Amino acid sequence: MPVNLYNSLTRKVGTLTPRTEGTVHMFVCGPTVFDFIHVGNARTFTIFDVIAKWLRYRGHEVTYLQNITDIDDKIIRRAAEQGREPLEYAREFEQHYRDDMQSLGNTAVSQYPRATDHIEQVKAQVKTLIAKGHAYLIDGDGWYYDLATFPDYGKLSGRTGLQADDAVSRIDDSEKKRNTGDFALWKLSKPGEPSWDDPELGAGRPGWHIEDTAITEHYFGPQYDLHGGAMDLKFPHHEAEIAQQEAASGLVPFVRYWMHAGFLQIDQKRMGKSMGNMLSVREALAKWSPETIRFFLLSGHYRAPLDFSESALDAAHAAIQRITELLTKIQTLPPSEKDDSALVQIIAETRHAVEDAMDNDFNTAAAFGAVFALVSAANKAVTEQRIGTESGAALRAFFAFLSEQFGIIATGGASLPETVQSLVNERQLAREQKDFATADQLRDQLAQLGYVVDDTSYGPLVKKKVQS
């Protein structure tokens, strides 16, 4: 089945056509390992995890690389503050990152190449750019890319960076640059900093953008299929990658499909370290299950901003709870005599709806909508004892598919006592039939048993009442 996706480069939705049929070379900008990552970062990585898994589901052989930036100013600064050696410090936070990804169920990455393991490839690419007249030396500072030599600069973001003055290009802030937007390819070493020797370039370390193209050229060649990252990397980072690789190889386009994930926001502001509003993945995992966090992160369209709030996470928790309760019942109740062939049909249609949503620019929000329509139908069938052998097996297969593709099925089992759960189900059915008097009555009964019910967009969230 063809997969359609929005390409940031062409600004159009089109069918994914890899350079080699059936094989997708995919790269996503990985973390700079100087601290724990936050939930905003996790949104990007979870989105691309699901995208890679979906492409595999659709029969592509996907090689998915994510680089680990283990040398950079922030790492050097943090390590110095703690009196530690930068590369050893980076290794520790690389491991924390890998652990966080594992905990969140982000398992699609084929390989995590580190910047410092590819210094030779970086040097070679810088030398090519020098030989082709794209780079110049600022004495005592480093080798810089001369943006005036690459007229295509800005084609991805629609911005021209030649004289762009933005906070990010001020990282490379030498006053001797030829153009304001010029960026460092190779930074000459300062005393005490990690550096790699080179007779032609001088002892130094890679600039911010060069490791990505050095790594992808090494594994994929000068052109490949799909490059992803967070929205804020489009400019200048991804523009810089295009400038480096297309100038070095003379081949266009460097990447066929560019994909950018929207921000996670709190009160309309992007979650970020510099914003002072971040919640680390570890802090989040202490409060919510990985399935709940994944469900939340995937509940909006990947290109749109997503608003983080306690109530959004509560709704996600309710969604996961609802699926878990249903699944537990299907797995534990003996099959009914009656079997619901209409339900089997609904399950097949739901699977098609999920597939259509995902094939159309990875619309996880629409996919989840279809899933919850099925959950309602299945709960009704459970109550009416219409889940027989065939419909039970079809439901189990469907949830196994959801688990595989999205990682949103909890394995812990149901958490509520059976009497409580059946009252919750009855109440939900009453609500769906707009019988609010009965629903209120059942809410009172639940309260007497010590349970409170909050209605979220995905269904009821049931919690044990806190004794006051």
As measured in angstroms, the least distance from the Cβ of 427 to Zn ion is 49
Tokens of 160: 């021209």
CB of 368 to Zn ion, least distance (A): 29
Smaller CB distance to Zn ion: residue 157 or 364?
157
Closest contact distance (angstroms) between CB of 97 and Zn ion is: 15
CB of 416 to Zn ion, least distance (A): 45
- Residue 395's Cβ-count burial label (10 Å; 0-12, 13-18, 19+) is buried
| Residue 415 beta carbon to Zn ion: minimum distance, rounded to whole angstroms | 41
Which of 208/368 has CB closer to Zn ion?
A: 208
In the complex, the smallest distance separating the C-beta of residue 4 from Zn ion, rounded to whole angstroms, is 25
**Number of amino acids touching Zn ion (CB under 5 A):** 2
Which residue's beta carbon is nearest to the bound Zn ion?
Answer: 29
Which CB, 188 or 215, lies closer to Zn ion? 215
Q: How far is the CB of 27 from Zn ion (least distance, A)?
A: 8
Tokens of 18: 């890899």
Q: Judged by CB, which is closer to Zn ion: 183, or 458? A: 183
Stretch that binds Zn ion, among 21-29, 197-205, 360-368, 442-450 (CB under 5 A): 21-29
Pick the closer one to Zn ion by CB: 29 or 395: 29
Q: Which stretch binds Zn ion (CB under 5 A): 24-32, 44-52, 289-297, 437-445?
A: 24-32
For Zn ion, the closer of residues 68 and 461 by Cβ is 68
Nearer to Zn ion, 29 or 201 (CB): 29
**Cβ contact 5:361 at 8 Å:** yes
273 and 35 in contact (C-beta within 8 Å)? Answer: yes
**CA-CA distance, 156 to 258, in Å (whole number)?**
9
Q: Name residue 382's amino acid.
A: V
Query: CB of residue 157 vs Zn ion: minimum separation in angstroms?
Result: 14
Q: Which segment (23-31, 126-134, 141-149, 409-417) binds Zn ion by CB under 5 A?
A: 23-31
Q: Considering the complex, state which of residue 38 and residue 317 has its C-beta at the smaller distance from Zn ion.
A: 38
Among 29, 76, 264, 402, which residue interacts with Zn ion (rule: CB under 5 A)?
A: 29
Q: How deeply is 278 buried, as exposed, middle or buried, from its count of CB atoms within 10 A (0-12, 13-18, 19+)?
A: buried
Closest CA to 169 of 144, 196, 132, 205: 144
Stretch that binds Zn ion, among 28-36, 220-228, 292-300, 344-352 (CB under 5 A): 28-36
- Rg, Å, the chain Cα set: 26
Contacts (Cβ under 8 Å, ≥6 apart) of 260: 8, 228, 229, 230, 231, 233, 234, 303
Question: Binding pattern to Zn ion, positions 181-220, x when CB under 5 A?
Answer: -------------------------------x--------
Cα distance between residue 66 and residue 73, in whole Å: 20
Question: Smallest distance from the beta carbon of 81 to Zn ion, in angstroms?
Answer: 25
Range in contact with Zn ion (rule: CB under 5 A) among 26-34, 363-371, 393-401, 414-422: 26-34
Q: How far apart are CA 192 and CA 169, in angstroms?
A: 24
**What would the x/- binding string for Zn ion be over residues 152 to 181, using CB under 5 A?**
------------------------------
Judged by beta carbon, residue 29 or residue 284, the one nearer Zn ion is 29
Cα separation, 436 vs 1, whole angstroms: 44
Strand partners, 133: none
Picking from 109, 95, 111, the residue whose alpha carbon sits closest to that of residue 44 is: 109
**Beta sheet of 61-66, edge-to-edge order:** 61-66, 23-28, 224-230, 255-261
CB of 236 to Zn ion, least distance (A): 11
Residue 145 and residue 242: Cα distance in Å, rounded? 12
- Three-state SS letters, 393-449: HHHHHHHHHHHHHHCCCCCCCCCCCHHHHHHHHHHHHHHHCCCHHHHHHHHHHHHHC
Q: How far apart are the first and last CA of the chain?
A: 56
Interaction between residue 72 and Zn ion (CB under 5 A): no
Q: Of the two residues 30 and 388, which places its CB atom closer to Zn ion in the complex?
A: 30
* Nearest distance from C-beta of residue 103 to Zn ion, angstroms: 23
DSSP label at residue 193: S
* Closest CA relative to residue 208, chosen from 73, 33, 41, 36: 73
Altogether, the residues listed in the chain come to a count of 468
Nearer to Zn ion, 72 or 212 (CB): 212
Contact residues toward Zn ion (CB under 5 A) are: 29, 212
